[in-house]
Amino acid sequence: METEKVKVCVVGAGRAGEVHALNLSNRIPLAELTAIVDQDLNLARQLSEKVGKVNVYQALGDALKKEEIEAVFITTPTFTHASLTLEAAEAGVHVFCEKPMALNLEEADKMISATRKNNVKLQIGFMRRFDPEIRRVKSLIAEGAIGRPVLVKSLTRGPGLPPKWALDPKTGIGMIAEVSSHDFDSVRWLMGNEVKSVYAEADALIHPEFKKEYSIYHDVYVAILRFENNGIGLIDGGCPVGYGYDARIEILGTEGFIMVGDVKGSSLLLCKSDKKAVTETFQSWRNRFYEGYIGEAESFLRAIIEDRPPEVTGEDGKKALELVLAAIESMKENKPVQLPLQ
Ligand SMILES: NC(=O)c1ccc[n+]([C@@H]2O[C@H](COP(=O)([O-])OP(=O)(O)OC[C@H]3O[C@@H](n4cnc5c(N)ncnc54)[C@H](O)[C@@H]3O)[C@@H](O)[C@H]2O)c1
């Protein structure tokens, strides 16, 4: 039913909250944005002004009491995801939760069981699965275009530092989780298989001074994944790189390879008599995955309306989280880590 709308509330009026609130209010007819929650009411008010005035609250509980909310978009720091998901699920509200799903696997399990028990949907924010080109790659692999995938490489570099809470082990999981949760999900999804071991190397090579503040701080890293089918995954990450937002994937199969993603964010090319050709990079994840953010929100709302499982489930979120946690354990122990994690 194209005219049906789902009443949604965005919880967290920061960077990701803004992207979702703008999409839900302006670009997705299936959504009716009814409220914005942020513990900093000024931020909630500012975002409300940008999207065209909706009610604002300081806590999810207040919004749930006062508004008729059918779904929440949780766009707060990682350490708040589990408690907010449980609160929404117990109120019978569907949950879209940003990555990384939670701080640890116990929290992820609680989120999965609370949403299941209360019969509400849980989708995790892996918008790359909704990027039109990456979706096409998944279809090409399924059609056998490159034979059997044997190596999946995924690279992400971010232009600037994420918020401080993401780097502090009390409130976040660290850079690899903040920047590359998406890569772990993409590699697993495109290989179509489960990972049996993870080995990671990481260091603070761009900002070594941050190691004094956060013992787990790293800004350049690689992770090698070994799949149950013996396929290999390779994740390469760095942040902050300054030059732009860079996300690229390559899949080698037994009968060919596919590359997707480009560091160039524009077809504009400036050529001058100095014989240089200059173009632009993507400035941010916001414009690189513009369509992906709209696609994932639409798909979540359709799952609610059509009462079908979301395309990216809580279990997918937990698997990606397990891979990130295994990579961090491997960085600390300097050896491959076997899955499942104990
Ligand atoms: N999918 C993506 O590409 C993408 C991009 C950026 C961020 N994220 C994810 O989105 C989440 C938020 O990241 P961000 O960069 O927007 O963070 P942010 O710090 O910019 O914003 C978080 C907001 O949440 C608010 N907040 C904190 N605790 C709260 C609570 N209990 N109730 C209500 N509001 C609360 C803060 O005041 C802040 O305004 C993280 O999980 C992050 O990993 C995803």
Phi, psi of 180 (to 5 degrees): -110, 10
- The CATH 3.30.360.10 domain(s) of the chain lie at 129-287+319-338
| Residue-level length of the chain | 342
What are the structure tokens assigned to 6, written together?
């789902």
3-state helix, strand, coil in the chain (%, to 5): 40, 25, 35
To test the ligand 1 pocket, which listed residue (22, 36, 50, 98) has its Cβ within 8 A of the most ligand atoms? 98
Superfamily for domain range 129-287+319-338: Dihydrodipicolinate Reductase; domain 2 (3.30.360.10)
Ligand 1, atom 25: nearest CA belongs to which residue? Answer: 12
User: What is the number of the ligand 1 atom nearest to the C-alpha of 12?
Assistant: 24
Distance CA 11, CA 73 (A): 6
Q: Which residues line ligand 1 (CB under 6 A)?
A: 11-17, 37-40, 43, 75-78, 80, 98-99, 125, 127, 163, 178, 285
Residue 281 CB neighbours (<10 A): 19
pLDDT 10s digit of each residue in the chain, 342 long?
456 899 999 999 999 999 999 999 999 999 999 999 999 999 999 999 999 999 999 999 999 999 999 999 999 999 999 999 999 999 999 999 999 999 999 999 999 999 999 999 999 999 999 999 999 999 999 999 999 999 999 999 999 999 999 999 999 999 999 999 999 999 999 999 999 999 999 999 999 999 999 988 999 999 999 999 999 999 999 999 999 999 999 999 999 999 999 999 999 999 999 999 999 999 999 999 999 999 999 999 999 999 999 999 999 999 999 999 999 999 999 999 999 998
Q: Is 233 exposed, middle or buried (0-12, 13-18, 19+ CB in 10 A)?
A: buried
Ligand 1 centroid vs 15 CA: distance in angstroms?
Answer: 6
CATH of 6-128+293-313, one of 3.30.450.20, 3.30.470.10, 3.40.190.10, 3.40.50.720: 3.40.50.720
- The CATH 3.40.50.720 domain(s) of the chain lie at 6-128+293-313
Give the global pTM. Answer: 0.97
Distance CA 25, CA 89 (A): 23
What are the structure tokens assigned to 186, written together?
């993409």
To test the ligand 1 pocket, which listed residue (43, 76, 283) has its Cβ within 8 A of the most ligand atoms? 76
To test the ligand 1 pocket, which listed residue (10, 11, 15) has its Cβ within 8 A of the most ligand atoms? 15
| Omega before 29 within 30 of 0, i.e. cis | no
Contact (CB, 8 A) for 165 and 172: yes
Within 13 Å of residue 241, how many CA atoms lie on the same side as its CB? 22
